[in-house]
């Protein structure tokens, strides 16, 4: 499997960025009709998730909920001052696996792939790997 690096520049400390079209475009370039799409995050303060893309308030609510669960300041010992970002990234996860059916990501009607920034703004990247089968 060949891995493709996708660069992303984030413009705020926390943000969910819909990357569905970016990943779909990479899938289309491969010509794979049926298989698996893997998305991997090689950063410890950013994550990945699948959630609704029809209403932008969902992404806002996810970030607000995470901020309540894991506030920026707390009884943290990590010296870099971004402990909350590490925890939030771990909660969201670092990889996604999506079936590919008839050349398309097999997402539900309202689903999208999200890049989750928790320690920005930064220049980041994620990896996409597609297998046929």
Q: Report the pLDDT value the prediction gives residue 24, as an integer from 0 to 100.
A: 98
pTM summary value: 0.95
Q: Report the pLDDT value the prediction gives residue 62, as an integer from 0 to 100.
A: 98
Tokens of 31: 């010509």
Question: Residue 112: pLDDT above 90?
Answer: yes
Q: Report the pLDDT value the prediction gives residue 133, as an integer from 0 to 100.
A: 83
Do 105 and 18 contact (CB within 8 A), yes or no?
no
* Structural domain count, the chain: 1
In the sheet where 35-40 sits, what is the strand order?
3-9, 123-132, 35-40, 95-101, 104-105
CA angle 61, 94, 66 (to 5 degrees): 25
CATH code of the domain in which 8 resides: 2.60.120.460
Q: Report the pLDDT value the prediction gives residue 79, as an integer from 0 to 100.
A: 83
Q: Could you tell me the residue range of the domain that residue 57 belongs to? A: 3-132
* pLDDT tens digits along 116-129: 999 999 999 999 99
Question: Residue 130: pLDDT above 90?
Answer: yes
Q: Report the pLDDT value the prediction gives residue 43, as an integer from 0 to 100.
A: 98
Q: CB neighbours (10 Å) of residue 39?
A: 24
* pLDDT tens digits along 34-91: 999 999 999 999 999 999 999 999 999 999 999 999 999 989 999 898 999 999 999 9
- Give dist(CA 95, CA 48) in Å, integer: 6
Q: Work out the average pLDDT over 18-44.
A: 98
* pLDDT tens digits along 90-102: 999 999 999 999 9
Residues forming a β-bridge with 125: 7
- Give dist(CA 131, CA 99) in Å, integer: 10
């Amino acid at each position: 499997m060949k891995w493709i690096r996708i660069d992303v520049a984030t413009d705020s400390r926390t943000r969910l960025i819909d990357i569905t079209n970016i990943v779909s475009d990479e899938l289309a370039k491969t010509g794979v009709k049926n298989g698996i799409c893997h998305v991997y995050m090689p950063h410890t303060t950013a994550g990945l998730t699948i959630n609704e893309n029809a209403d932008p308030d969902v992404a806002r609510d996810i970030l607000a909920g995470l901020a309540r669960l894991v506030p920026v300041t707390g009884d943290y010992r990590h010296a870099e001052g971004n402990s909350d970002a590490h925890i939030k990234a771990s909660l969201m996860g670092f990889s996604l696996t999506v079936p590919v059916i008839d050349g398309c990501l097999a997402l539900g009607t309202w689903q999208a792939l999200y890049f989750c920034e928790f320690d920005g703004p930064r220049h980041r990247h994620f990896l996409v790997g597609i297998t046929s089968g």
